[in-house]
Chains A and B, each alone.
Chain A
Amino acid sequence: MSEQPKVRPAASADASAQAARFREVFDRLKREVHKVFVGHDELVENVLSVLLSDGHVLLEGVPGLGKTLLARTLASALQLDFSRIQFTPDLMPADVVGTMVLREKEGGGHELAFEPGPVVANFILADEINRATPKTQSAMLEAMQERQISVARRTMPLPEPFIVMATQNPIEQEGTYPLPEAQLDRFLVKLLVDYPAEREYHDILLRTTGTDLPTVEPVSTGDEILAMRRIVRSVEVTEQVRAYAIRLVMATQPGSAHAPAAISRAVALGSSPRGAQGLMLMGKVRALMGGRFAVSCEDVRAVALPVLRHRLLLNFEAQADRVHPDDLVRAAVSSVSELSR
């Protein structure tokens, strides 16, 4: 009983140093973003968590709330190849991934050459992604999941790190197309951008209507982002927490043994295993930010809403009753116990 724990101090110190470095990079990026983007601390933290979790983020909100500004600011804070695609109803898949063009050879004659589209970049801002037709939206599927594009029997890997940051207006607005479920599932999180608070309005007006406009400096690089991603994946997950995340994902699937009555009544399609992966990765970032070396059930609960809300496909009755997916995710969270037995 009186024996001291036989944990190697060096190993523990290494882990602590990596976690501290991670938090330092995270805070640095956050500060830089907040130079321009006022308020919404949780939103910015979630976006950075997605960036460091090797995922993609979907921002939803009415026009004018700074969704594009946030993406642009983050891209400016990273020394990454930035590309912006403004999705419009007449945008075609070839406009996104690229196409084969006929070029003149230097020595005469012509040849077909691949002209890469704007998706071939590190940081993609897909602005108003739901204004494009589902056909064009689907052009992003392969790029987002496999990190590659295929054009004319030719497959080309995309550069790393690769992150897609898409913005969309609420689907009730005119001239928008709902995103296909397959593409929605490829986004690690869906974040809702709300109106700023009254105090934040003051800061917005002071920063944007004066003579000294803030500038964003690049504070991180692609290599550093990749290193941070490796640290995230080093965080431990015990069987208890893993089982809790699995039960939570299964609780969103109607007909499952863990699904509460509200889910079985309102959900047509629950979360896929990608949801569990998202819970783990986002939970790891949150554990590191909390100074811990393993994911806890509390971390999983905290990220359940942004990770799972866009993975629930509501049935007709729930849509008619205007049931919100957030309420269903909360019902699932409250129905799952974190005790192992």
Chain B
Amino acid sequence: MNQPVESRHLCAEFEGLLTATRRRVHAAAVRRRVRCAAERGVRAAVWVAAFVLVLRLLAWLLGQPVPLGIAAAAVLLVLVVLAPVAVAWVRAKAEEPCWREAAERLDLGAGEHNRVAIGLALADGGAATEFGLAAIQDGIASLKRIHDGAPYLEVAPTDWSRLAGRAAAIGLLVLVAAWVGPARPGQEPAHAGGLAAAADTPRAPGREAGSPDADRPEQPIRDRVTDRGQGERGVRAEPMAAAPARGSHTPAAGRTGGGTVAKAATSERSAQTGGENTQSAATAGTQEKDSPKSGTPRPPKESRIAERRSKEEADSGAGVGKGSSGGGSMAAVQHSWSQRAQTAEGKEDEEASDEDVEDEAEESRQRSGIQPSLKDRNESPSRDLGISGEQGPPGTGRGGPTPPKKSRGTASLVLGIPVPDFVRGRLGPGTTKITHERVEPTPMPGEPAQAGAVLPRVGPERPVSPVAIPPNLAEAVRNYLIALHSADAQETVEEQPDTPPEGGASQTEESLNP
């Protein structure tokens, strides 16, 4: 019967000391709940403002009177914000925190190892154990010590930027809604023409009615392609056409044009050079494409050679004064010797190669058949003795990449020469053959050794002096053995030059024993 009385008295003492803390916790809870409600209200106000804007916009588009004015919308927004705040404030005021929460928050704020909350809980539960009573007493002592301390209050920082952003959004939406005024009765909406215009079939800018392009009849695809090609060629030929006007015609430009022509007319060997018009070259190319189909007989070899030589003479400037078409396109300027030499060399090469091909073809015909040419032969694969261990160059058509060759002979016995080995740790394993022979043991003639007593040592015992080896030789042998027995012996030796640098031995040891 004594225990409940004790418990009641203890609880009353706890509550008396926790009153101030509980009040503070309550005030903080009210503030927290009001702030949360305000944030929720502002968030809802954004949606309400957007709804008002949509409503007014729809009324404006449909030409109907707007059911909600701007003033009414503003009142609604204020209500949306303030109503939850008021409700939250009223409810938070009505809900006071319990004593246990106040005790726990006071413990947390003071760092008291839950002494107050433990004491209150044990007093409330009527603890009868020795340790329980001691914990209650400890809790009361702790509470008396810290009852004026600040409780732990969750203070969530207010996100002012987000709040300001939402407020700005509300203001913007209200402004837009106010700007979107109601439509007057009988007035056609301003967007009607726009919608009608939008309903028209869209046209491309270059195909507008009345434009010169629109009046032009539909052009066949082939012609359009030709036009486009001509246009492109015209663009490309523009520098060449403008070159004489600037007085800067160079053989290089002429070579470019000539090269194009030559590619297009390889079989006809009617390469146009110098300042020939590109368009004519293209025309020539088209003609050349058609020429095999037309079955035009090929002129004899002598006439072709003569024609080519005459054209070369014209290209080389000899025909400038003749008024021929080939020379007329060349500028009447002095070529530098280097440019002339380049031009002549190129011509000679082309001529020589062409003649070679024709000569070989003629010889083949005379030998009544196509014979293999020496120039077609590939290089034979290398049979050199390679000891690098690396992958060889790719094969020349006979057997793929060249494998590394094994070193044989005395080269593998010389110290310091890297020896590639396919089986690590064994030098030149070669092939091993084990032969078993059944041989009967046969006694060998000889005299048996006579057993004798162990004799004492004769002469003084002296320390064995090491063999005098030059330090550089000892270092070289040591380096070699380290490299030989390491896992990466081959790579280590390849990285180091023949003569090891200063401190080479220590570097090798470090690399082997990281």
Q: Which of A284-303 contact B (CB under 8 A)?
A: 287, 290, 292-294, 296-299
Contact status A1-B13, CB under 8 Å: yes
Instruction: Give bound CA distance, A19 to B138, whole Å.
Output: 13
Contact-residue bracket for chain B: 20 to 34
Interface string of B97-108 (1 = CB under 8 A from A): 000110011001
Contact status A338-B104, CB under 8 Å: yes
Residues of B within 8 A of A8 (CB): 133
Contact status B133-A298, CB under 8 Å: no
Q: A163 to nearest B CB, angstroms?
A: 24
Contact status B130-A294, CB under 8 Å: no
Contact status A12-B6, CB under 8 Å: no
Q: B134 to nearest A CB, angstroms?
A: 4
Q: Which of A10-26 contact B (CB under 8 A)?
A: 11-12, 14-16, 18-19
The reply to whether the CB of B250 lies closer than 8 angstroms to some CB of chain A is no
Contact status A234-B130, CB under 8 Å: yes
Instruction: Give bound CA distance, A236 to B113, whole Å.
Output: 13
Q: Which of A36-92 contact B (CB under 8 A)?
A: none
Q: A56 to nearest B CB, angstroms?
A: 26
Stretch from A121-129, A140-148, A178-186, A237-245 contacting the other chain: A237-245
Known: A14-B130, A235-B131. A3 touches B114 (CB 8 A): no
Residues of B within 8 A of A238 (CB): 114, 117-118, 121-122
Instruction: Give bound CA distance, A296 to B134, whole Å.
Output: 14
Specify the chain B residue showing the minimal Cβ separation from A290.
Answer: B113
Residues of A within 8 A of B6 (CB): 6-7
The reply to whether the CB of B12 lies closer than 8 angstroms to some CB of chain A is yes
Interface string of B104-128 (1 = CB under 8 A from A): 1100100001110110011000010
Q: How many residues of A contact B (CB 8 A)?
A: 33
The reply to whether the CB of B132 lies closer than 8 angstroms to some CB of chain A is yes
Q: Which of A12, A14, A339 is within 8 Å of B137, CB to CB? A: A12
Contact status B114-A240, CB under 8 Å: yes
Residues of B within 8 A of A5 (CB): 9-10, 13, 136-137, 140
Residues of A within 8 A of B115 (CB): 292, 296
Q: B207 to nearest A CB, angstroms?
A: 60
Contact status A6-B9, CB under 8 Å: yes
Contact status B5-A340, CB under 8 Å: no
The reply to whether the CB of A322 lies closer than 8 angstroms to some CB of chain B is no
Instruction: Give bound CA distance, A12 to B97, whole Å.
Output: 31
Specify the chain A residue showing the minimal Cβ separation from B5.
Answer: A6
Instruction: Give bound CA distance, A298 to B107, whole Å.
Output: 11
The reply to whether the CB of B16 lies closer than 8 angstroms to some CB of chain A is yes
The reply to whether the CB of B30 lies closer than 8 angstroms to some CB of chain A is no
Contact status B131-A15, CB under 8 Å: yes
Q: Which B residues form the contact surface with A (CB < 8 A)?
A: 5-6, 9-10, 12-13, 16, 100-101, 104-105, 108, 113-115, 117-118, 121-122, 127, 129-138, 140
A-B contact pairs, 22 of them (CB 8 A): A1-B12, A5-B9, A6-B5, A6-B9, A11-B129, A12-B130, A19-B134, A234-B129, A235-B131, A240-B117, A241-B114, A292-B115, A292-B138, A293-B131, A293-B135, A293-B138, A294-B114, A294-B122, A294-B138, A296-B114, A298-B113, A339-B104
A-B residue pairs, 10 tightest by C-beta = A15-B134, A296-B113, A6-B6, A294-B135, A15-B130, A293-B135, A296-B114, A293-B134, A238-B121, A1-B16
Q: Which A residues form the contact surface with B (CB < 8 A)?
A: 1, 3, 5-8, 11-12, 14-16, 18-19, 234-236, 238-241, 287, 290, 292-294, 296-299, 338-341
Q: A234-B129, A236-B135 are in contact. List 19 more A-B contacts (CB 8 A).
A: A1-B13, A6-B5, A6-B6, A6-B9, A11-B129, A12-B130, A12-B133, A15-B134, A18-B130, A235-B131, A236-B122, A239-B121, A292-B135, A293-B131, A293-B134, A294-B122, A294-B131, A294-B135, A339-B105
